[in-house]
């Protein structure tokens, strides 16, 4: 087979298309290029299993799930050079897509399933595997009808930060030349930078300026607290998001942290000995971070849920049109649709949903609940999974941040409130609710990962149906690997907190511990924080009335402020780079834009690699953050000052390397 010339992404890859214009990917629809091969599927499954096992352990130990897709895209470029026939772009997309399933399934598993062990319910390995498998399959099936809306019809309107990074890695890495060197350089700098700052005590990762007296006074007396996570990964993320999206994200964070937190503290400080639900301590004794986690994050959950409802309503017309196209294509056996716009048939989707529903009903019935409770549980699982597919796609497309924990909390709260009315309570009710939450959590995670994969394929020219089919292979592999890994870890370690008389080492399992406390509380008939959810819902309604992208704003309210502020810096940097490119125009301007995106993608890729290396080191018993410690680390002014200066250095690196004059276009 002749070697196809590898081209750059089209100039309109990241911009809205004029009316009547269609996007033409690198690999055109009529082209016949190896895609689903033994090589691509085999390596994808191997990497999926490896990253699943590593991510499950690191996630349970430190609450950090390894970002699989970006590192795997880099590995795919390296693996391509092992063969006489170098792997094609589309084969590398398949490898990345299958391998990336690891992070999605693991997030769904470790956020929920360890809670069953903490509650001493000891699920059978087959049960844990089934929960992951059912949630993953339903997540993909419910997302497929949304593909055309999020991937094709909204082209250029969503930034897709993670998909952009993966695409730039695959394209630039295969092209070689000066642009590939630039990508590798940015990746190496970010990998070293993020690795040291997150793994050892070299300088402070977070800048909060608490060493400044006036800032400390504001934090102590009014609970107005600033924070900034000075990581290369988030700088690259904000750059790809752009100024508008990063400003809206940060605006949500400002409302949550600089309005809601001090407002709640001002009201609560008058009751120094009273703990107001859902928090367990008196507001007067809580820090700004504790108030955010105990109250304001629930407002963010309500805002995200309402934004998801608006998103579903907005997409219904286009989704219905996509289904009509799919039905016509099925009736004509796929005729009339280009290869790059061909999904799994709608009949297959409906059959898959039906089989999944029956399997879930049988599973829930095996837990000893009544038929009405099983029917209610099945409805909750399917409705939440469909709802979460849209939420995940929207969130990942705009901020690359999937609100997994928040939506899982919402699932637990509503499911508990509903199932209590059907007589479910105690240990049976807890197992029942956590099983539903595990399925929904996995569906949410997989939906987000899948939309990233499909957008990458859209830019490069993959066949959507091929990408969708191999997702199920990855889900099976990751579900078995994660289920068995959690079972083996449960025999060797304790999850959550140490039990009296148990000498086993403890794995913190932070997310699962929160879910355990939540389901235990609700199954004990504690009240629901409807006021907080309602406040978030009305905030979203206000944003929609103002014409602001409500999901981005809601995510800003939910995410910690330290993640929003550096993203805003990246967005501002992208704005000024874009203005210089616009001023210069022509070939020079286009080169500046391209180099800026390549550098930002390298920062994201390197940051992800640095996080993976850091998480891997934590698996060794000899590891300690103090293994590498600078003399000034414990001195806040010096340590945070160094952090701020180095972050400013990263910004300068992006600016000068994006805008400097090059000899020729690579």
446 in Cβ contact with 475 (< 8 Å): yes
Lowest mean pLDDT among 84-93, 170-179, 243-252, 434-443: 170-179
Q: Is 9 within a domain? A: no
* Dist. CA 369–CA 377, nearest whole Å: 10
Residue 502: which pLDDT band, with cuts at 50, 70 and 90? low
Burial environment of residue 230 by CB neighbours within 10 A (0 to 12, 13 to 18, 19 or more): buried
pLDDT digits (tens, 9 = 90+) for 280-298: 788 988 999 899 988 998 8
* Dist. CA 615–CA 33, nearest whole Å: 37
Q: Is 2 within a domain? A: no
Residues constituting the chain: 666
* Dist. CA 175–CA 178, nearest whole Å: 9
Lowest mean pLDDT among 81-85, 205-209, 477-481, 652-656: 81-85
2 three-state secondary structure: coil
506 in Cβ contact with 493 (< 8 Å): yes
What Cα–Cα distance (Å) separates residue 614 from each residue in 194, 195, 618, 625?
9, 6, 7, 10
Is it true that the peptide bond before 343 is cis, omega within 30 degrees of 0? no
Mean pLDDT of 542-561: 88
Tell me which residue of 460, 366, 398 sits closest to 175, measured CA to CA: 460
Q: What is the pLDDT of residue 131?
A: 93
161 in Cβ contact with 455 (< 8 Å): no
Residue 308: which pLDDT band, with cuts at 50, 70 and 90? confident
Residue 3: which pLDDT band, with cuts at 50, 70 and 90? very low
Q: Is the pLDDT of residue 4 over 60?
A: no
Q: What is the pLDDT of residue 323?
A: 58
Lowest mean pLDDT among 32-36, 351-355, 411-415, 619-623: 619-623
* Dist. CA 546–CA 541, nearest whole Å: 9
Is it true that the peptide bond before 128 is cis, omega within 30 degrees of 0? no
pLDDT digits (tens, 9 = 90+) for 595-619: 888 888 888 878 877 877 777 777 6
Q: What are residue 158's phi and psi, to 5 degrees?
A: -115, 135
pLDDT digits (tens, 9 = 90+) for 19-74: 878 888 889 888 888 889 999 999 999 988 888 887 777 677 655 566 678 888 88
Cβ atoms < 10 Å from Cβ of 357:
16
More reliable by pLDDT, 585 or 361 = 361
Mean pLDDT of 374-382: 92
Q: Is the dihedral of CA 328, 330, 332, 334 positive or negative?
A: positive
Q: Is 249 within a domain? A: yes
Q: Is the dihedral of CA 355, 358, 361, 366 positive or negative?
A: negative
Q: What are residue 275's phi and psi, to 5 degrees?
A: -90, 120
In 161-288, beta strands by DSSP E: 206-207, 228-229
83 three-state secondary structure: coil
* Alpha-carbon dihedral 305, 407, 367, 107, rounded to 10 degrees: 150
Q: What is the pLDDT of residue 276?
A: 81
Mean pLDDT of 194-200: 89
Element housing 228 (H / E): strand 228-229
Q: What is the pLDDT of residue 7?
A: 63
164 in Cβ contact with 596 (< 8 Å): no
Q: What are residue 206's phi and psi, to 5 degrees?
A: -105, 135
Which bin fits 223, alpha (ψ -120 to 50), beta or left (φ > 0)? Answer: left
Exposure on the CB side of residue 106, measured as CA atoms within 13 A: 29
Q: Is 527 within a domain? A: yes
In 388-513, beta strands by DSSP E: 494-495, 506-507
Q: Is 18 within a domain? A: no
Question: What residues contact 491, with CB distance under 8 A and at least 6 apart?
Answer: none
Mean pLDDT of 413-441: 85
Determine how β-strand 206-207 pairs with β-strand 228-229: antiparallel
Number of domains in the chain: 1
Q: Is the pLDDT of residue 174 over 80?
A: no
Q: Is 339 within a domain? A: yes
Q: Is 380 within a domain? A: yes
Burial environment of residue 586 by CB neighbours within 10 A (0 to 12, 13 to 18, 19 or more): exposed
Lowest mean pLDDT among 444-448, 548-552, 639-643, 650-654: 548-552
* Dist. CA 557–CA 209, nearest whole Å: 21
Cβ atoms < 10 Å from Cβ of 657:
17
506 three-state secondary structure: strand
Mean pLDDT of 244-261: 93
Q: pLDDT exceeding 90 applies to what percent of the chain?
A: 30
* Dist. CA 66–CA 88, nearest whole Å: 26
Q: What is the pLDDT of residue 326?
A: 55
* Dist. CA 211–CA 606, nearest whole Å: 31
Q: Is 630 within a domain? A: yes
Residue 159: which pLDDT band, with cuts at 50, 70 and 90? confident
pTM to 2 decimal places: 0.81
Q: What is the pLDDT of residue 327?
A: 59
* Structural domain containing residue 189: 39-150+161-659
């Amino acid at each position: 087979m002749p070697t196809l010339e590898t081209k750059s992404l089209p100039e309109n890859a990241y911009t809205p298309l004029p009316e009547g214009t269609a996007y033409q990917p690198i690999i055109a629809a009529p082209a016949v290029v190896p895609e689903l091969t033994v090589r691509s599927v085999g390596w994808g499954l191997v990497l999926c299993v490896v990253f699943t096992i590593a991510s499950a352990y690191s996630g349970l130990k430190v609450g950090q799930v390894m970002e699989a897709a970006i590192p795997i895209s880099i590995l795919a470029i390296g693996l391509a050079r092992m063969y006489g026939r170098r792997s094609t772009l589309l084969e590398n997309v398949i490898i990345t897509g299958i391998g990336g399933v690891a992070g999605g399934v693991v997030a769904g598993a470790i956020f929920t399933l360890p809670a069953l062990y903490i509650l001493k319910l000891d699920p059978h390995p087959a049960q844990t595997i089934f929960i992951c498998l059912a949630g993953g399959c339903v997540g993909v099936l419910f997302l497929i009808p949304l593909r055309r809306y999020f991937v094709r019809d909204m082209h250029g309107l969503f930034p897709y930060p993670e998909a952009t990074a993966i695409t730039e890695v695959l394209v630039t890495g295969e092209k070689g030349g000066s642009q590939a060197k630039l990508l590798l350089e940015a990746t190496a700098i970010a990998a070293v930078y993020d690795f040291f700052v997150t793994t050892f005590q070299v300088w402070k990762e977070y800048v909060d300026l608490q060493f400044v007296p006036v800032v400390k006074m504001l934090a102590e007396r009014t609970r107005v607290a600033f924070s900034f996570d000075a990581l290369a990964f988030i700088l690259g993320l904000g750059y790809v998001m752009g100024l508008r999206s990063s400003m809206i994200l940060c605006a949500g964070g400002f409302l949550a942290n600089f309005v809601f937190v001090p407002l709640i503290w001002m009201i609560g400080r008058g009751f120094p000995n009273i703990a107001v639900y859902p928090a367990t301590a008196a507001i007067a004794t809580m820090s700004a971070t504790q108030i955010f986690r105990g109250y304001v994050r629930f407002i963010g959950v309500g805002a995200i849920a309402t934004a998801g409802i608006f998103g579903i309503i907005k997409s219904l017309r286009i989704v219905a049109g996509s289904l009509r196209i799919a039905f016509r294509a099925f009736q004509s056996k796929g005729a009339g649709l280009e290869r790059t716009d061909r999904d799994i048939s709608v009949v297959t989707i409906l059959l898959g949903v039906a089989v999944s529903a029956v399997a879930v009903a049988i599973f829930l019935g095996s837990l000893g609940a009544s038929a009405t409770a099983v029917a209610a549980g099945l409805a909750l699982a399917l409705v939440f999974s469909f709802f979460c597919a849209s939420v995940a796609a929207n969130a990942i497309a705009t901020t690359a941040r999937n609100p997994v924990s928040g939506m899982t909390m919402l699932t637990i709260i509503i499911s508990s409130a509903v199932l209590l009315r059907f007589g479910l309570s105690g240990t049976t009710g807890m197992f029942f609710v956590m099983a539903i939450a595990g399925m929904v959590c996995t569906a949410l995670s997989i939906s987000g990962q899948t939309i990233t994969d499909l957008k990458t394929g859209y830019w490069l020219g993959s066949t959507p149906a091929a990408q969708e089919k191999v997702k199920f292979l990855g889900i099976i592999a990751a579900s078995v690997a994660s289920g068995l890994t959690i079972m083996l870890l449960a025999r060797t370690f304790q999850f959550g907190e140490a039990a009296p008389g148990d000498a086993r080492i403890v794995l913190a399992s932070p997310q699962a511990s929160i879910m355990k406390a939540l389901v235990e509380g609700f199954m004990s008939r504690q009240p629901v924080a409807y006021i907080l959810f309602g406040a978030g819902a009305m905030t979203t309604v206000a944003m929609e009335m103002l014409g602001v992208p409500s999901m981005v704003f809601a995510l800003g309210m939910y995410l910690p402020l330290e993640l929003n502020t550096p993203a805003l810096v990246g967005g501002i940097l992208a704005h000024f780079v874009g203005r210089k490119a616009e001023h210069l125009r022509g070939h020079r301007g286009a080169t500046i834009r391209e180099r800026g995106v390549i550098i930002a993608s390298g920062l994201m890729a390197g940051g992800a690699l640095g996080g993976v290396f850091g998480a891997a080191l934590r698996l060794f018993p000899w590891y300690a953050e103090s293994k590498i410690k600078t003399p000034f680390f414990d001195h806040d002014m010096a340590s945070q000052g160094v952090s701020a200066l180095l972050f400013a250095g990263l910004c300068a690196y992006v600016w000068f390397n994006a805008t400097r004059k090059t000899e020729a276009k690579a």
